[in-house]
Amino acid sequence: MRLRNFLYVAYRELRSLEQLLKQRIRDLARARGLPTPSGPLPYVPLANMQGIDIERTAVMIARVTLWMGHRQMIERYGEAEDPLPLVTLAGIRWATPCESRGRRPTALLRTRRFWAPAT
């Protein structure tokens, strides 16, 4: 549950900062008599959101929450990137504690056997 809330709040706040920066760029251009940027300004891609969790269900919920949050940010700030097709969000993934450290899960099993008392 923490992963999906953290990623959603982070994405929401990044999009908010992005919008403030874009408005600041426009205001500075107008104040200095320069042409306002007409092309698309940089944005925070949804695919940049990454996370890891030990529960598969939490990973799926986090992905769906971000897709819904992406849609909300489009309604609030306008479209930065196309809402469809859905971004894969492969950066949000499931892994066991051993895999998250780059080791294979069998290493933990071997360690447990090694330290188990002899019978």
Q: Are 34 and 76 in contact (CB under 8 A)?
A: no
User: Per residue in 45-96, pLDDT tens?
Assistant: 888 888 888 888 888 898 899 999 999 998 998 887 777 777 888 888 888 7
Per the DSSP assignment, residues forming a β-bridge with 27 are none
Q: One-letter amino acid identity for 94?
A: W
- Helix pair 2-31, 56-77: axis angle to 10 deg: 20
Distance (Å, whole) CA 87 – CA 78: 17
State mean pLDDT over 25-53.
87
Task: Find the radius of gyration of the CA atoms of the chain.
Answer: 21
Question: CA dist 15 to 18, 74, 82, 98, Å?
Answer: 5, 10, 15, 33
